[in-house]
Amino acid sequence: SCTGLTEITIPDSVTSIGDYAFCDCTGLTKIVIPDSVTSIGDSAFDNCDNLIIYGHTGSFAETYAKEHGIQFAAYTFGDLDNSGKVDSTDIFYTMYYVANVAVGNPGGLTQEQIAAADVDGSDKVDSTDVFYMMYYVALHGVGKDVSWEEVLAK
């Protein structure tokens, strides 16, 4: 029943959101739910009338939002600028972030952009994510329509 909470990003270590967790949080307009969340309790978002749930397409968060009449906004791995595709601009933003963080500067990305840039799901954005993004863009550039799952296959 807090009114001051407006946005929250659930950490990747969380697997469930309990009953009534955000019930009556009338100021809550945005929650980012990672793929690690596979359970959301009863009335978790009751009376959060302006809430938008952010998550990946096909995630439990998307299913939950649709089943409960809550607006859902998808973010795509690697698409930091929400252009609808992963391209050199997204790679640049990720490289710039990694370089800034490495020298102790603010990274300059929002929580959603950081979540999108963490393509390998390691809970940090680093040179490995840059590599995978470059590989993904290169494969698409030569006409290979591969998924992130295929790129990240080990």
Contact assessment for residue 93 and residue 117, using Cβ atoms and an 8 Å cutoff: yes
Q: How far apart are CA 36 and CA 74, in angstroms?
A: 15
Pair (108, 66) in one structural domain: no
Residue 115 binned pLDDT confidence (cut-offs 50, 70, 90): confident
Q: How far apart are CA 68 and CA 91, in angstroms?
A: 35
Pair (62, 101) in one structural domain: no
> Would 1 be classed as within a structural domain?
no
Pair (93, 70) in one structural domain: no
> Would 47 be classed as within a structural domain?
yes
> Would 97 be classed as within a structural domain?
yes
Give residue 68's pLDDT.
96
Pair (18, 47) in one structural domain: yes
> Would 82 be classed as within a structural domain?
no
Give residue 69's pLDDT.
95
Task: Provide the CATH number for the domain around residue 33.
Answer: 3.80.10.10
Q: How far apart are CA 21 and CA 1, in angstroms?
A: 9
Return the percentage of the chain with pLDDT > 70, whole number. Answer: 99
Residue 153 binned pLDDT confidence (cut-offs 50, 70, 90): confident
Distances in Å between the Cα of 50 and the Cα atoms of 5, 16, 46, 99 are 12, 22, 11, 36
Mean pLDDT across 131-137: 96
Pair (48, 94) in one structural domain: no
Q: Which amino acid is at 108?
A: G
> Would 131 be classed as within a structural domain?
yes
Give residue 21's pLDDT.
97
Element (H, E) at 96: helix 88-102
Residue in 74, 96, 78, 56 with CA at minimum distance from that of residue 151: 78
pTM over 0.75: no
pLDDT higher than threshold 90 for residue 57: no
> Would 79 be classed as within a structural domain?
no
Q: How far apart are CA 30 and CA 53, in angstroms?
A: 6
Residue 17 binned pLDDT confidence (cut-offs 50, 70, 90): very high
pLDDT higher than threshold 70 for residue 154: no
Average pLDDT, the chain: 90
In the chain, the number of structural domains is 2
How many CB atoms sit inside 10 A of residue 36's CB?
A: 16
pLDDT per residue as tens digits for the range 71-101: 998 777 899 987 878 999 999 999 999 999 9
Domain span at residue 145 reads 88-152
